[in-house]
Amino acid sequence: MTLEEVKKEIRDIPDFPSKGILFKDLTTVFKNPQSMEYLTNILVDMYKDKKITKVIGIESRGFIFGAILAHKLHAGFVPVRKKGKLPASCFELDYKLEYGTATLEIHKDALNNNDTILIHDDLLATGGTLCAAIELTKMMGVKNIYANTIVELEFLHGKEAMDDVVVYNSLIRF
């Protein structure tokens, strides 16, 4: 298997979640066990020597590989969720999407300044969601931050918004 083969599995959904957006649907990749294993192995190899203590998965598709990576890297898993979905006291941050605005939250006791964090989401577009998750971790004193996505939409320049991230990697680019 190759990344090019995985890229071909990604389905385009026009006008989702709003008119004018061409949504890159990774559920077609997630349903293929060979693709899941291939991507898992690549991601684990990228971070196995980074001493990751916690993996943050961003709601909702970031939970899929975020949890897998946490397990494989022997790290804890921390969900970053949309407003109102976490039960305990949270830090929250409003941010802009390419098609609106939203709020992300993280439990106040989820991280500490000694953690080395890997933030995972399925896709980087304009960078709003990933940058909000990065800012939430910084609010908690975390200094060692890695960020990763499976797909990056390079034409939206989201990577440019992440100057402070130690390392950002994506596997597939459009």
Omega prior to 60 cis, within 30 of 0 = yes
What is d(CA 110, CA 103) in angstroms, rounded to the nearest whole number? 18
Could you tell me what percentage of the chain is helix, strand and coil, using 3-state DSSP and rounding each to the nearest 5? 30, 35, 35
User: Catalytic residue at 98?
Assistant: yes
Which residue is it, tokens 């998965």? 57
User: Catalytic residue at 173?
Assistant: no
Would you state the structure tokens that stand for residue 74, as one six-digit string? 């022997």
Q: Given 61, 81, 105, 152, which residue is catalytic?
A: 61
What is d(CA 1, CA 13) in angstroms, rounded to the nearest whole number? 24
Q: Given 9, 59, 92, 98, which residue is catalytic?
A: 98
Give the residue numbers marked as catalytic: 61, 98
